[in-house]
Amino acid sequence: MQKMIAFITFESPWFRAGGIGAVMAQLPGAAQAIGKRRTVVITPFHNKSPKLNDLNLESIARVELKYRGDPVAVEVLTHTSGCPWFFLKVVDGSFFNGERHPYDVSKEDLLRNSLIFGVAAVKALPCLADYFGLPQPEVEWHLVAQDWEASTALLAFKSQDAAQGRLHLTLHNSYDEFATPENFASVGINPDLCPGDTILHRALLLCEQPVFTVSDQFALDFTQDLLQREVMAPQLQELLRNMDVLGVDNGPFVSLAPEAAHLQQAAHGDYAALKEWKAGSRRKALLALDAHHPTESAPLWGDRNQFRREADSLWFVMAGRDDPRQKGYDVAALAVEEYLAEHHGQAGCAQFLFFPSPGDEGLPGLRFMQALAERFPADVIAFPFLWGDGFKAALRGATYGLMPSLYEPFGMANEFYLAGGCVGIGRATGGNLEQIVPLRSSAACNRAVRSRAERYHALSSFPTGILFRERDRIASALDDWRAINDAQYRLGGEEPSRVTQRQGYFVFQEMANELRIAIEDGVRLYTQDPTLYYRMIAEGVAHIQRTFSWERAGQEYARKVR
């Protein structure tokens, strides 16, 4: 029996929304190289993706399924990048039409697209076997689905009983969806053969153990963190508590930007070269800022003419896609507002550069960032678009990278250290806990931080960043998290904004207050002990390099998917 591994993913490196596309650019190839088993990736062809439309794809087959009784023709296209990728393209273009990213459609269309994708992926399996010259009866498929949108393939596989195989699931998130028997029947999935409530609930009942996720801490957070346990995924608790949930840490997503020699010098107390490299990067970022011509789709929030340009500016940077239930731009906005209300105009006051890629709420959902930049034009600039010309330089010139995550599956601290050579400041949750070794002498390192960080870092470990977290056992915490997750605020600059609405909840106030303390810690560290600050950069890079690798991640999958 020939075993084949198929990673099933709704997003790809050519049309990304969050971290899954970046993971899929690395993990399948690593698993194939180490496991020595033929590995493929199956994903939708998203019609609105310029990068997908520019790929040179080979058509290898066509399959047909039915949606509400009408035939749907799906072309199977292939491209090799690390391992073979197979794209499923609905011929008449009636599915997979997200504009900005794969999930940029209505909730109803996303469910429909996901069900169509799952069935099409299973129907394509014999075509893939033929492509490799393998008779279908001799192939045992191991499907590894990513999140609920791709786990529909597990339901379709079980429902259609199309081939021999084993089913696996990776959770990058706890988002889930409910589907009715009519939804399943519309694509030919028999829900009686995959019982359960939500799509993830049904998939978990079918899949092999362990269930994979993307960090050790997030595996624990599923059942131990209040937000995940009671608000995000209460429907999965009974199953997850009795299952083996394995955190497989991702490898780094970027290559090293600072020179290794500069880092080595900084680790031994000589930080002059690293400091000058960062100062030069700030100068390049400011040149790109002056050259930018704002447009409707690429606006600039704040006043670049008033933005301070001291030679030794202390920059805090935050970047990434805006997810109002996860990312924490609103936490950062309130913390920065409170910090600047006290320190604005003082010598050594920090400055803040925000790079929020608009999420499902678009630019209207980020107007609170515009208001912050307009209130403090000398200290805050926001770029609510992908600013290719200046972001790289700004990151390299930054002093700190902020990650005030409401929750964090893996986290981007590795990108701050490797691509920016800057120190991470993160909320003590999920992957942030593993990627940042906290400065225990910082005011932000309270009991809630210490009790979690000690799982991963010995007291003797050299610090690499600052972790913060609101205190445990807040009486209103559960009600506050539920209200935050409900997102009952207004968009487009109307009140209450996301910040003002959530400011009424004590948990949110405490998160922002602890981040403000962490920012003050960062300013104090940089100004009073630069030798320690620059050594923390060097140690942070070394910690990422020796702790996280795609080879290790690939080996974990090779061990378990067999």
pLDDT digits (tens, 9 = 90+) for 419-470: 999 999 999 999 999 999 999 999 999 999 999 999 999 999 999 999 999 9
In this structure, whether the domain defined by 260-546 belongs to CATH 3.30.1490.20 is answered with no
Residue 142 Cα distances to 211, 432, 551, 562, angstroms: 14, 31, 20, 8
Above pLDDT 90, what percent of the chain? 94
- Cβ contact 196:202 at 8 Å: yes
162 has a pLDDT exceeding 60? no
Going by the DSSP 8-state scheme, the letter that residue 193 receives in this structure is G
Going by the DSSP 8-state scheme, the letter that residue 418 receives in this structure is I
**Span 125-139, pLDDT tens digits:** 999 999 999 987 889
- Cβ contact 104:112 at 8 Å: no
For residues 78-96, average pLDDT = 94
120 has a pLDDT exceeding 80? yes
Quickly list DSSP for 93-125: S-S---SSSTT-S-HHHHHHHHHHHHHHHHHHH
For residues 217-246, average pLDDT = 96
Res 18: pLDDT: 79
Residue 422 Cα distances to 102, 308, 310, 339, 466, angstroms: 31, 20, 18, 20, 12
**Span 542-559, pLDDT tens digits:** 999 999 999 999 999 999
Going by the DSSP 8-state scheme, the letter that residue 416 receives in this structure is I
Q: What are phi and psi of 159, to 5 degrees?
A: -65, -45
Quickly list DSSP for 223-272: HHSHIIIIII-GGGHHHHHTS-EEE-----SS---S-HHHHHHHHTT--H
288 contacts: CB under 8 Å, gap ≥ 6: 387, 389, 390, 393, 394
DSSP β-bridge partners for residue 355 = 319
80 has a pLDDT exceeding 90? no
Per-residue confidence at 116, pLDDT binned at 50, 70, 90? very high
Res 438: pLDDT: 98
- Cβ contact 436:424 at 8 Å: yes
Q: Domain residues of the chain, as ranges? A: 2-208, 260-546
Residue 282 Cα distances to 317, 393, 403, angstroms: 12, 6, 21
Which three-class secondary structure state does DSSP give residue 363? helix
Of the candidates 262, 258, 404, 405, which has an alpha carbon nearest to the alpha carbon of residue 336?
A: 404
- Cβ contact 546:433 at 8 Å: no
Res 161: pLDDT: 60
Which tokens is 546 given? 């020796």
Per-residue confidence at 41, pLDDT binned at 50, 70, 90? very high
Which tokens is 373 given? 């930049």
**Span 244-291, pLDDT tens digits:** 999 999 999 999 999 999 999 999 999 999 999 999 999 999 999 999
DSSP β-bridge partners for residue 85 = 41, 79
**Cα 329 from chain centre:** 14
Res 388: pLDDT: 84
CATH topology of domain 2-208: Rossmann fold (3.40.50)
Pairing mode, if any, of strands 465-468 and 423-427? Answer: parallel
Q: Which residue in the block uniquely carries the two structure tokens 């996303």?
A: 110
Q: Which residue in the block uniquely carries the two structure tokens 């999930």?
A: 103
Strand boundaries in 127-238, DSSP class E: 139-146, 164-171, 211-213
Other Cβ atoms within 10 Å of 516 Cβ, number: 24
Q: Give just the sign of the alpha carbon dihedral 44, 29, 154, 126.
A: positive
The torsion angle over the Cα atoms of residues 323, 249, 467 and 227, rounded to 10 degrees, is 50
For residues 399-427, average pLDDT = 97
CA angle 79, 85, 89 (to 5 degrees): 85
Helix (H), strand (E) at residue 77: strand 70-81
Of the candidates 150, 149, 167, which has an alpha carbon nearest to the alpha carbon of residue 158?
A: 167
Strand boundaries in 390-542, DSSP class E: 400-403, 423-427, 465-468
Q: What's the whole-number average pLDDT of the chain? A: 96
Considering the entire predicted model, what is its pTM? 0.96
- Cβ contact 82:29 at 8 Å: yes
Going by the DSSP 8-state scheme, the letter that residue 355 receives in this structure is E
398 has a pLDDT exceeding 80? yes
- Matching CATH topology for 2-208 and 260-546? yes
Helix (H), strand (E) at residue 534: helix 530-547
Res 243: pLDDT: 95
Per-residue confidence at 181, pLDDT binned at 50, 70, 90? very high
Which three-class secondary structure state does DSSP give residue 47? coil
- Cβ contact 490:411 at 8 Å: no
Alpha helices in 49-106 (DSSP H): 50-54
Res 201: pLDDT: 97
Which tokens is 233 given? 């995924």
CA atoms of 294 and 291, how far apart (whole Å): 10
